[in-house]
Chain A
Amino acid sequence: MSRQDETIGSAARAEPFDAVGFAARHSAVIFLVALVVVFALLEPRFLSAFNLMNVLRQVSISGLIAIGMTFVILTAGIDLSVGALVALSGLVGAYVAKGGLEDRFAVGASVDAGNPVILAFLAAAAVGMAGGALQGWAVTRLRVPPFVVTLGGLTAFRGAALLFSGGGPISGFSPAYTWWGQGRIATVPIPVVIFAVTALIAHIVLRHTRFGLHVYAVGANPRAAEENGVPVRRVTWLVYVIVGFACGLATFLLSARLNSAEAVAGLGLELDVIAAVVIGGTSLFGGVGGVFGTVVGALLIGVLRNGLVLMNVSSFIQQIVIGLILVAAVAFDQYAAARRRS
């Protein structure tokens, strides 16, 4: 994805067309299109509407969190705790939905005895935001590096999830709950709709609000931002709350789709999420990137997985390929950045 173009309001200049530079800047989009073409040619089932919707639905959960992660990484931070936070907030949401742990496995008549779906969602979102707020506080007030804070969060939230649930899942929700994961509007799965709407809102916030501008400023030069009156601490704290909210929203949709929440949900999810953001062209050093790139990055990973599965490629090889693409994406970006400097 383009670093230059995703930087706020960058210059449009009348320069001779630079094909190599263009390719390097838009590497993620070009690669995504190429992948779709290749899979479409090699595997007829790939382009079916059913399969494409399936890819989108799979992408939407980690993609939602990747949108939140984009805010964090733009400030030159990182959040490794998202997978664990998904587990913890999902369990609390499920607990509220069921009105307790007594009939945690009950499927049937008793499922309607719990609380309204909106309460369950709010509970999951509140836990996610509280976890993010706590970590953001440690980053901004205790001045512990985000990598360390959220590495601690990764362990602690997972532990809290196991403690809370006693290790077992909470399953069997009302149809009103599972609709959010399994329902469709027209033919589009609900999680995909929510993913798209969230991406749009996040894009508007980043590009068209004062807060969004401050996120970019904090990522590039926090001292300069501070000297110009940007509330650096508040901005930094808020990005962790935002990714926490994304975890709560994602876990609500995930548990609705699976009709279950469990303490081992989202294991290793942070790696998928960070990969989507980075493949999408957002710099780990902060200040450069955006939501559009992240959506492309998430789609790229989703399409790659799906295509390889359809072609019966082993999941071990998938992991190797995704790892290589991650490194290649960053190498392309470095190359594009070096060209711009010269």
Chain B
Amino acid sequence: MPVLELRGIARHFGAIQALGGVDLTLDRGEVLGLMGDNGAGKSTLVKIIAGSLQPSTGTMRLDGQEVRFARPGEARAAGIELVHQDLALCDNLPAALNVFLGREIVRRIGPFRFLDRGAMFARAEELFAELKSETRPRDLVRSMSGGQRQAVAIARTRLADPKIVLLDEPTAAISVRQVEEVLGLIRQLRSTGHAVILISHRMPDVFSVADRVAVLRRGQKVADKPIAQTSAEEVTGLITGAIEIA
């Protein structure tokens, strides 16, 4: 049974059809590359899955159960984590406290609750180690590379052991060397059985890490096939419309 199953998901904004009836499935431990030009509907689809937008029509099933999310918090509670493109980090705080921001570990002393910094640093260290990242829990985010920042944002999604992790353009704003680090993080997520949707403009990244690629064009899914059965040329053609449908 797929972990996520979308049927006929459509969304319009007034007269504009952003998404016109998309079917999509995702299996456990699978990395799906979601590609498409600007305005193809990628963001709309991701926002619907993450609960920040509601579909006009269509159904969404999580582990076979039909779900409806009114808010991002509901999607998160159901096991869907979105890593924003801007990462939502506070660069004056150390890596570990960014991981736990909003979900801090506290210790009760009498009527008071105090931050359990030791526990948070230790847990963050474990998470970074699981992700095979060299990020150090005590380092300030301000002093970190783009790849390490991405690791912090991804480590945050692991606190709740989510079913699905959505990554929005994680390699868009970082150096080539750090891209490799981020792709490593994604492989690490897959190896622990998480399903990943990677939204990206970068063809080499998708081909290096994804198991399957889905292409959106003008709100329609025009391709959905295993990486092994396609090529960068074909996907480029599908994105631009040079190839109608695959």
**CA of A223 to CA of B121, assembled, Å:** 24
A213 touches B115 (CB 8 A): yes
A149 within 8 A of B: no
Indicate if the CB atoms of B94 and A217 lie closer than 8 Å.
no
Is B88 an interface residue, CB under 8 A from the partner?
A: yes
Complex alpha-carbon distance, A77 and B90, angstroms = 17
Beta-carbon contact of B140 and A213 below 8 Å: no
Interface residues of B in 130-176 (CB under 8 A from A): 136, 138-140, 143, 156
| Complex contact B94–A228 (CB within 8 A) | no
Given contacts A9-B138, A225-B101, A227-B88, contact A210 B113 (CB under 8 A): yes
**Contacts A229-B103, A230-B101; A10 near B140 (Cβ below 8 A):** yes
Contact assessment for B138 and A12 in the assembled complex, using a CB-CB cutoff below 8 Å: yes
**In the complex the two chains form, is B92's CB within 8 Å of A220's CB?**
yes
**Chain B contacts of A9 at CB under 8 A?**
94, 96-97, 117, 121, 138
| Residue among A4, A7, A208, A209 making CB contact with B93, cutoff 8 Å | A7
Check B14 for interface membership: any CB of A closer than 8 A: no
Q: How far is the CA of A4 from the CA of B142 in the complex (A)?
A: 11
Q: Which of B90, B106, B115, B121 contacts A217 (CB 8 A)?
A: B90
* B80 interface residue per 8 A CB criterion: no
**Hey, which chain A residues are within 8 Å of B88, CB to CB?**
221, 223-224, 227-228
**Minimal beta-carbon separation of B118 from chain A (angstroms):** 10
User: Would you give the 0/1 interface string for A204-224, flagging 1 where the beta carbon is closer than 8 Å to chain B?
Assistant: 100011101100110111011
Interface size on A, residues (CB 8 A): 28
What is the CB-to-nearest-CB distance from B52 to chain A, in angstroms, rounded to a whole number? Answer: 10
Is the CB of B104 closer than 8 A to any CB of chain A? yes
B89 beta carbon closer than 8 Å to chain A: yes
Q: Which residues of B contact A146 (CB under 8 A)?
A: none
Check B91–A228 contact: CB distance below 8 A: no
Docked complex: A127-179 residues within 8 A CB-CB of B: none
Task: List the B side residues contacting A254 at CB < 8 Å.
Answer: none
Pick the most buried of A225, A228, A229: most chain B CB atoms within 10 A of its CB: A228
Residues of B within 8 A of A219 (CB): 92
* Complex alpha-carbon distance, A229 and B99, angstroms: 12
Query: Within the complex, which residue of B102, B112, B114, B138 is in contact with A11, where a contact is CB–CB below 8 Å?
Result: B138
Q: What B residues does A221 contact at CB under 8 A?
A: 88-91
Closest Cβ–Cβ distance, residue A326 to chain B (whole Å): 23
Chain B residues positioned under 8 Å from A303 (CB to CB):
none
Asked if B187 lies at the interface with its beta carbon under 8 angstroms from chain A, I say: no
* Minimal Cβ-Cβ distance residue in A for B89: A224
Taken together as a complex, chains A and B put the C-alpha atoms of A12 and B93 apart, in Å, by 14
Q: Does A288 contact B (CB under 8 A)?
A: yes
Q: Chain A residues near B104: list those with CB within 8 A.
A: 210, 213
Q: Which residues in A have their C-beta under 8 angstroms from that of B96?
A: 9
Say yes or no: is A83 at the interface (Cβ < 8 Å to chain B): no
| B84 interface residue (CB < 8 Å to A) | yes
B100 smallest CB distance to A (angstroms): 9
Per the 8 Å Cβ criterion, residues 1-37 of A in contact with B are 4, 7-12
Task: Report B39-64 CB contacts with A as 1/0, cut-off 8 Å.
Answer: 00000000000000000000000000
Inter-chain contact B139/A11, CB cutoff 8 Å: yes
Q: Which residues of A contact B112 (CB under 8 A)?
A: 209
Residues B140 and A7 in contact, CB atoms below 8 Å apart? yes
Contacts of B97 in A (CB 8 A): 8-9, 213
Q: In the bound complex, how far is the Cα of B103 from the Cα of A213, in angstroms?
A: 11
Knowing A10-B138, A11-B138, A223-B88 are in contact, say whether A229-B102 is a contact too (CB < 8 A).
yes
Q: How far is the CB of B195 from chain A (nearest CB, A)?
A: 22
Contact with A along B102-129 (1 / 0, CB 8 A): 1110100000111101000100000000
Binding site for A on B (CB under 8 A): 73, 84, 86-94, 96-97, 101-104, 106, 112-115, 117, 121, 136, 138-140, 143, 156
List 18 additional contacts besides A204-B114, A224-B101; criterion CB under 8 Å. A4-B140, A9-B97, A10-B94, A10-B138, A11-B139, A209-B114, A209-B115, A210-B104, A213-B101, A216-B92, A216-B93, A220-B91, A220-B93, A221-B88, A224-B87, A224-B88, A224-B89, A229-B101
6 contacts between A and B (CB under 8 A): A8-B92, A11-B136, A209-B113, A213-B93, A224-B90, A228-B156
